[in-house]
Structure 1
Amino acid sequence: MTQTTAILERKIGGATDLQSVVRTMKAMAASNIVQFENSVRALADYSRTVELTLGVCIRESQSPSRAKYIPEVATNMTAAIVFGSDQGLVGQFNTIVADEAMRTLASVPGKHMIWAVGERVRARLADTNSQLVGQFNVPSTVQAIAPLVGQLLIEYETQAKQHPGTELYLFYNRPTTGSLYEPVRRRLLPLDNAWRRQCSQTPWPTKNLPQVLGDSMQTLRKLTGEYLFVSMFRACAESLASENASRLSAMQRADKNIEELLVTLNSSYHRQRQSSIDEELFDVVSGFEAFRASK
C-alpha cells in the first residue's frame, strides 16, 4: 500500500512539473502573438505609403506597361517561399501551409524551386517533386525578421538573374478571427497589369500632389524592392503570429488534460492514503483489544 502511494506521489509531482512548463509556454506564446501582431499593424502605414508612391511612379511613366520589376519574358521557372516552423507543438500548422504550396505549384507548369523557412515545413516539402534550393531558420523575434527577408531577397535575385521572368509566390498562414489561422497564397512577381492598374488608380490622400524627380523607372524599381520587402516582412510576421496561436491552443488543451489527470491522481492518492490510514487504525484498535483481553 505504501509503495502504491509513493508511486502516485511521483506521478502527481511529474504532472505538476509538466503543468508548470506548459503554462510557461502558454505565457510565452501569448506574449509572442502580441509582439508579432503589433509589428504587422505598425507596418501597415509604411506599406500604404509604398503603395501610394508606387501608384505615383506608374502614373508618371510614359507607358504603364513599362512599370515592371522583372521583364515579362517567357520562363519555365517558378520560385516559392514557404513559411513554416522550426519547433513542434503547433498541430497541423506546417501540414496546412505545405499542402497549399504543393496544390498551387502542381497547377503551375514548368520547374519549381522552393525556399523553406523552418525545419518542420522543409521536411514536409521534401516529399514533393519540387526542388528545395534553400532553408532558413525561423526568426524568434521581430528584430530578426528583417535580416531573414534580406537573405531571401538576395537568394531570389540571384536565381532571377539566371532565369529572368521567374515568378515568385509566398505561402504562409495568416491569423483569422473565426479560427486560428488560414493558409495564404500570394503571387508577388512579376507585377501584372491588373495590379499596376489598381495601384495607379489609387487617389492621393491630400491635395498636394507629388512629383517624381529624376528617372521614374529607376525610382519605380527601388520602390518595387521596398514593396517586396514589406510583403515578405508581413508574411513572416503573420506566419509567426499564427504559429504561436497554434502553439497556444495546443498548450491550452495540454493544460486542460493535465488538470484532469491531476484531479484523477489526487483522488486516487487520497483514497489510497485513506485506506492506508484505516488499516493502520484497524491494526492499532485490534492490538489494543487483544492487549485488553489478555489483561
Structure 2
Amino acid sequence: MRITTKQIDEKIKKYEELQKIVISMKSVASANVKKAQDLISSLREYERSILDLIALMLSHFPRLGMREIPVKGSIVVVFGSDLGLCGVFNEKVAEKATSLFKGKELKGYLVVGRKLSDIIEHKKIKVFRAPTHYEAIYSRASELIEEVSEILRNEVFEIYTVYNQFSGIGKYKPVVKKVFPFEVRIGKSDNIPPVLDIPPEDIIKGLIMDYVFAMFYTAFLESFLSENGVRLMNMNSASSSIGKNLERLKMERNYYRQEEITAEIEEIMSTYKALSQE
C-alpha cells in the first residue's frame, strides 16, 4: 500500500505532541534536580550541627548518654519511587535492602514508594507515598518520623535507611545508613553547665528526634534527586530520539510530496495531450 503525505502528517503530529509532553517532563525533572542539589549540602551541615549540640549537652550531662539498651531487632526504611520512567532505580535499592538484611532479626520494612512496594513483598510494616515534587518532601518526612516515633514508644529497634545516593545526572548507588542508635563523640566540658528552663533530658530527646528527622529528610532528598536525575537523562534520550524521528518523517514527507507533485504534473500533461488530439 502506497504511503501518502497525509499519513506522514498524522505521524508527525503525534510525534510533535509527544515531544511537548517530554519537554514538559524534562522541565519538571530539571527543576526538581536543581532544587534538591541546592539544599542537600546545607542539610548535611545541619545534621552535623545537631550532633555537635547533642555532644555538648552530653558533655555537661553525661548521665543522659545513650546506654546499652537491648534492641528487639531492626527496622529498615527503604526509599523508592511512586512513578516510573527511572529504569532499575527501585530494583537496585530493593535488592540492596533485602540481601543485606536477609537472615537477620528484622521486624520489617517501612517502604517509601508504591513502585518499590510492588517489588518488596515480605515483612512490610507500612507503605508511604514517595514525593513526586520537591515541595512534598517535608510532609513525607514528617509522616515517616511520626510512624517511627510511635514504633519506638514502647520498644527499641535499630533503624536503618536504604536509598539511592546521587552521584551525577543518571548516576546513583544504593547505600545503607544506620540512623538509630547512633554514636556521639563527647568532648570535654568547660565545667560551666548551661542555665536551662527545660529539663536536659527533654532537650536531648528533642535533639535526637531532630537528628533522626534530618537523616530521613536527607534520605528522601538523595533518593528524590537520584530518581529525577535518571528521569532527566531518560527524557533527554527520548527527546533526542523523537527529534530524529521527526527529522526523518519530514524528509520522507518532502520526498513523497515531490512524488505526488510529479504525478500530478504528469496527469495534467497527459490530459492536455489528450484534449489537444481531439
Q: Same fold (TM over 0.5)?
A: yes
Structure 1 spans left out of the alignment, 5+ residues? none
Deviation for aligned residue 1:271 = 1.4
Correspondence 1:156 to 2:148:
yes
Cα pair 2:163 2:223 within 8 Å, conserved: yes
More moved, 7-16 vs 170-179: 170-179
Number of the residue aligned with 2:85: 89
| Aligned mates of 1:32, 1:226 — CA distance in 2 | 25
Give 1:136's match in structure 2, choosing from 115, 118, 128.
128
Number of the residue aligned with 1:180: 171
Give 2:242's match in structure 1, choosing from 236, 258, 272.
258
Correspondence 1:283 to 2:267:
yes
| Aligned mates of 2:191, 2:222 — CA distance in 1 | 33
| Aligned mates of 2:98, 2:152 — CA distance in 1 | 21
| Aligned mates of 1:165, 1:140 — CA distance in 2 | 32
Q: Which amino acid aligns with 1:73?
A: P
Number of the residue aligned with 1:35: 35
SS of 2:130 mapped into structure 1: coil
SS of 1:172 mapped into structure 2: strand
Correspondence 1:12 to 2:17:
no
Cα pair 1:173 1:184 within 8 Å, conserved: yes
1:217-274 deviation per Cα after TM superposition (whole angstroms, max 9, x unaligned): 4432221111101111111112111111111011011111111111221122111111
More moved, 271-280 vs 175-184: 175-184
| Aligned mates of 2:193, 2:216 — CA distance in 1 | 28
| Aligned mates of 1:182, 1:110 — CA distance in 2 | 25
SS of 2:69 mapped into structure 1: coil
SS of 2:162 mapped into structure 1: strand
Shift of the 272–45 alpha-carbon distance from structure 1 to 2, 3 Å rule, reads same
Deviation for aligned residue 1:50 = 0.8
Give 1:169's match in structure 2, choosing from 139, 160, 163.
160
Cα pair 2:161 2:179 within 8 Å, conserved: yes
The root-mean-square deviation of aligned C-alpha atoms, in Å, is 2.6
Give 1:190's match in structure 2, choosing from 160, 167, 181.
181
Structure 2 spans left out of the alignment, 5+ residues? none
Q: Which amino acid aligns with 1:139?
A: P
| Aligned mates of 1:210, 1:11 — CA distance in 2 | 78
Deviation for aligned residue 1:48 = 2.8
SS of 2:177 mapped into structure 1: strand
| Aligned mates of 2:84, 2:25 — CA distance in 1 | 12
| Aligned mates of 2:270, 2:243 — CA distance in 1 | 40
1:17-72 deviation per Cα after TM superposition (whole angstroms, max 9, x unaligned): 10111011101110111112223234244323212111212322436xx522x852
Deviation for aligned residue 1:83 = 1.1
Correspondence 1:125 to 2:109:
no
Shift of the 51–111 alpha-carbon distance from structure 1 to 2, 3 Å rule, reads closer
1:94-122 deviation per Cα after TM superposition (whole angstroms, max 9, x unaligned): 11111111121115x11331111111011
Cα pair 2:59 2:186 within 8 Å, conserved: yes
| Aligned mates of 2:194, 2:106 — CA distance in 1 | 38
SS of 1:85 mapped into structure 2: coil
Aligned length: 276
| Aligned mates of 1:96, 1:54 — CA distance in 2 | 34
| Aligned mates of 2:243, 2:135 — CA distance in 1 | 36
Deviation for aligned residue 1:79 = 0.6
Deviation for aligned residue 1:133 = 1.2
Correspondence 1:73 to 2:54:
no
Q: Percent identity?
A: 24
Shift of the 283–249 alpha-carbon distance from structure 1 to 2, 3 Å rule, reads same
Deviation for aligned residue 1:178 = 8.1
More moved, 6-15 vs 213-222: 213-222
